Amino acid sequence: MSAVTWGRLRITAGREMYQLLGAVQTIMSATTPGPINRLTQALSEKRLTAVALVEESIQRIEASALNAVAETSFDSARRDAELFDAGLYAVGPLSAMPTVIKDLEDWRGHPTRKGSVPLKDVPPAEQNALVPQRLFDSGAIGVAKSTLPEFAIEGFTANLVTGVTTNPWNVKYSTGGSSGGSAALVASGAVAIGTATDGGGSIRIPASLCGLVGIKPTNGLIGRYPTPDWIDLSTDGPFATSCDDLRLLFDVMVGPTQGDPASPTNAMIQGLKCQSTTYKKIIVAERTSPLGPLPTGVASLLRSGAEAIADLLKLPLEWRDPDSFFTGGDPDLDWFVLAPSDHVAALGREWVEENMSRFHESSKNFLRAGLAVDIDAFQAARRRRFEYSRQLSQLLGDDTLLITPTVASEGFLADGSLVEGGEATGLPPEVYSTAMQNITGNPAISLPMGMLPTGLPFGIQITAPHFCDYDLLSIGQQIENAYPWARVAPGYTPLDEILN
């Protein structure tokens, strides 16, 4: 039996069981606590020490063959664990949780190399970036920095500094990117938390390919500091092994910050946490841009997954063609205008030109494209963002969800090439299915929903109206209750197995 057949049968069987049990299952299905909640509970009850937990995480990282670590900080993690057990470290919802920081984000005392050879010898950061600081304030303990593609610009995780990061589900394939190192370590049970950012799918792509649940929030809901390289597109956000943990991490990360003009106030955010929208319809599409047909395995799992979710939520499905979403341009293609030119501006045109020969081949192509964008083309694409956002808002209204695949591929090789022996020069637009939400600013969640023929998980993506993030978290929990997924990749054990 092929993997795609098994994935379809598993979803179909689950859907039929749900129909049989009806509302009784919805009432009685209890949310299983995620590993973070289980571990923090054990720590509070003194059934586990921070020292034992951090040491377990360190041993798992050291034993890992996934090449997902850019820098270790084991000695300081052990000291922090000792302080926690002595009552001298921050206590909060993430107490003593072993955490890796994506090497795009500043962590005080550690260099932020961004996977780039020209940045290999940069001095340590003098302060923490906003989200790492919020995690540490909530009790998390940093154990390492995780790998990423150079400057976080790709959908695979490989660079010339740390090499190639592999997927725990199938080491032949990529974890996705750009938060691929964090995803690999979470999906293999090595750490409780891995930080992630998303400017074009960098949370959702690795979540999909590594069997995690991940959410890109409405732009601004998690305040942004320092200013992201892709000003209008990027945001921090979490992924996790369960929706229970995802919501916990989301609550820690959410909040405004000075300097981000898109941040809502704390009062507004508190109101959002209580939302419970009554949705009336689900729109399903293979793509939201006409970039060609989906691979067979992706198309099959999209259909079965969308039908399962519609049955679960008791909502009608409406299928739409890719070319029926936007007029006056293509948000997926405009992403390739905005992001490269933004990155050239962030790094500095002169610095980019001086160091071009030292970049990864995919970075060269990306940044050369950015160098070639003139101000008129950039501003035209930026202005089209508003029209794309308006068109999507009109389509979704206040009561419609959109389902698409998270990744429009059955997987690509770990080094970023599409075929054996090929060169990793940058993934083509037709592989992606996530950039549109960064362009429009809408929230989107990726959930595991079956297995692809390559042995990789399939992620189904649900997009909601602006600021309906907490609706997505609630819907994700309903889906997990009905169709639970593996907490870690085969051959690995969840970190909370330390309690057994």
The residues carrying an active-site annotation are 102, 178, 202
Report the C-alpha gap between 283 and 456 in whole angstroms: 25
* Short-list 281, 228, 289, 225, CA closest to 253: 225
CB 482 within 8 A of CB 40: no
Query: Which residue carries 């039996």 as its tokens?
Result: 1
Cross-strand bridge partners of residue 451: 457
Using an 8 Å Cβ cutoff, are 383 and 332 in contact?
A: no
Q: What is the dihedral of CA 311, 316, 322, 327, to 10 degrees?
A: -140
Q: CB atoms < 10 A from the CB of 471, how many?
A: 21
Report phi then psi at 114, rounded to 5. Answer: 55, 25
Q: Residue 75: enclosing H or E segment and its boundaries?
A: helix 74-85
Dist. CA 187–CA 459, nearest whole Å = 14
Cα–Cα distance, 202 to 158 (Å, whole number) = 14
Strands 158-159 and 163-164: antiparallel
CB atoms within 10 A of CB 350: 8
The torsion angles phi and psi of 98, rounded to 5 degrees, stand at -60, 125
Sign of CA dihedral 195, 201, 204, 207: negative
Q: DSSP class of residue 149? A: S
Helix axes 296-313, 3-21, angle to 10 degrees: 10
Q: Among candidates 463, 439, 382, which has minimal Cα distance to 233? A: 439
From its phi and psi, is residue 85 left (phi > 0), alpha (psi between -120 and 50) or beta? alpha
CB 71 within 8 A of CB 110: yes
Find residue 196's DSSP bridge partners: 237
Q: Which of 442, 402, 495 is nearest to 35 (CA)?
A: 495
Which backbone phi and psi does 451 adopt, to 5 degrees? -125, 140
| Residues near 297 by beta carbon (within 8 Å), at least 6 away in sequence | 3, 4, 410, 452, 453, 454, 458
Q: State the number of CA atoms in the 13 A half-sphere of 175 facing the CB.
A: 30
Taking CA atoms, 23 is separated from 11, 314, 472, in Å, by 18, 11, 20
